[in-house]
Amino acid sequence: MQNKVVVHIVGGKILKGTTANFFPNREVFHLQEKENGENLEISVSILKAVYFVKAFEGSPEYDERTNMARVGCGRKIKIYFKDGETQIGYTQGYTPGRSGLFVFPVDPESNNERIYVVAASTSKIEFL
């Protein structure tokens, strides 16, 4: 199955495309770029996060809610990235010392379906 993803690389570069072989325990995955169809091999070690999205365009005017409760998505968590960005969501599998974690958005209407956060790109992770 092809997943639509927006790949955030440490340092600010963003790539959009599809992938069928992203697995958090692998060192690399393949991305077919949306713009030019080029197939790239991406190393997880250079990533900040991988956003699995409903649509590449998103809804810039949509104000995502962060004060909702979601059932079945795990514990509420706040992630502080080293670049100053923060992300609030829910996770079912955060353990300190692991290479990363999946986060589900608080707002079910979010364009993000789930986010894989690379732990090395964070400065702090806390449960709310």
Q: What residue ranges do the domains of the chain occupy?
A: 3-127
Determine the 3-state secondary structure of 46 from DSSP. helix
Q: How confident is the model at residue 100 (pLDDT cuts 50, 70, 90)?
A: very high
The mean pLDDT of 76-96, rounded to a whole number, is 94
The mean pLDDT of 58-68, rounded to a whole number, is 85
Q: Which of 46-55, 60-69, 89-98 has the highest mean pLDDT?
A: 46-55
> What's the whole-number average pLDDT of the chain?
94
pLDDT at position 20 over 90: yes
Is 77 in contact with 103 (CB distance < 8 Å)? yes
The mean pLDDT of 103-116, rounded to a whole number, is 95
What distance in Å separates the CA atoms of residue 64 and residue 112, rounded to the nearest whole number?
A: 10
State residue 86's pLDDT score: 96
| Among 76, 107, 100, CA closest to 90 | 76
